[in-house]
Structure 1
């Protein structure tokens, strides 16, 4: 029996959640080590396993992997989720780049004050509707298939469904003007490993709460700021 992958991160979403989604889509079993104290983090630093002194870190295939995009490129490539040729891989990487940019707009939200959270939701909604979702709506319409690239599930599809659900948690009616994305969401959500990951009791993490925020701040001794200009 092959050894399970091991994920080192907080007990919450953050930058590890997209890795969890991709592993679930690829059928990779994994266990998690949750960072809860500054001492745990410093121990990893002392071991020298955090190449850039950052998490997420994933231990798999005899390697300790860091940098979220590199980790996901490895998983996608190994499990046939990164296209059949160089052109498809390029498109997948472009579409993943867009959803990653939108996720980075959303990720600071739990760390903001109540007043700033209201402003931030407006920013999320505006950027989603004006910059990002129109791109994927057009790609799906022009491509005419069930997926963003080619005729099979890819990393880009997995990350887009994750992003759609993230935005809907903040702006429930965001898909009203995007019929192709509505169909995409329904279609991809029914793919067996994705459907399983969306069920209660899976390793998918809930929306970040105050405990998660406090733990991240304690472990990393860091604070998030958002530019509202």
Structure 2
């Protein structure tokens, strides 16, 4: 029997969090190797397992996978969260691409200066409410089902819920004008594996704090400034 997937990353969200979400949604237990020192990262680099000299890395099914999208594609396909045919997969990819774009604006947020954080917060909310959430509201209206693609739970649903919760951390009432997304959030949050992941004590990571930012900068030697969008 194959062992649990093992995730190599920092003790924070970053690019690994969507992988944690998808494994949790599939009901898959996983282990984590938390990177805290430059020496740990150097050891991984010297071993040759980081193909592009980057994390995230996930050990799964005898593979040492890098590149976030490749890892997510594999997990979604392995655990039947990637649609029933090529057309459904194309839609899932399209919707995940949209939420990826939105989440990218949030990914840089912890690394910004205080002034830039306020600008970025407004930018995130503006993009969410004028571009991304209207699109998903329309998808749900036109599709007329409980889920974004077909009539079954998929990676697209997981990713959208993750994005919604991230934006709500920036503005708690951001869904006030989107009734279908409000219902979607309640529906997907009540799926047993998701409900468990949202409970205290799960492997879901909290909002990134200063300690997380300092660790990432130190381990990756990331000393350059990051600017708001």
TM range (shorter): over 0.9
Instruction: Indicate whether 1:64 and 2:67 are aligned.
Output: no
Instruction: Indicate whether 1:49 and 2:46 are aligned.
Output: no
State the secondary structure of the residue aligned to 2:169.
helix
Does 210-219 or 110-119 show the bigger shift? Answer: 110-119
State the secondary structure of the residue aligned to 1:170.
coil
Deviations 1:82-138 (A, max 9, x none): 000000000000000000011101111111111111111000011111111111000
Contact 1:108 1:224 in 2 (8 A): no
Deviations 1:7-30 (A, max 9, x none): 000000000000000000111110
Distance in 1 between residues matched to 2:67 and 2:5, nearest whole Å: 16
Instruction: Indicate whether 1:149 and 2:149 are aligned.
Output: yes
Structure 1 runs, 4 residues or longer, greater than 4 Å off: none
Q: Unaligned 5+ residue runs, structure 2?
A: none
Q: Unaligned 5+ residue runs, structure 1?
A: none
Instruction: Indicate whether 1:6 and 2:3 are aligned.
Output: no
Contact 1:189 1:195 in 2 (8 A): yes
State the secondary structure of the residue aligned to 1:7.
strand
How many residues are treated as equivalent by the alignment? 228
Task: Report how far residue 216 of structure 1 moved.
Answer: 0.2
So what's the TM-score if we normalise by structure 1? 0.98
So what's the TM-score if we normalise by structure 2? 0.98
Task: Report how far residue 227 of structure 1 moved.
Answer: 4.3
> 1:225 is matched with which residue?
226
Distance in 2 between residues matched to 1:169 and 1:227, nearest whole Å: 18
> 2:196 is matched with which residue?
196
> 1:80 is matched with which residue?
80
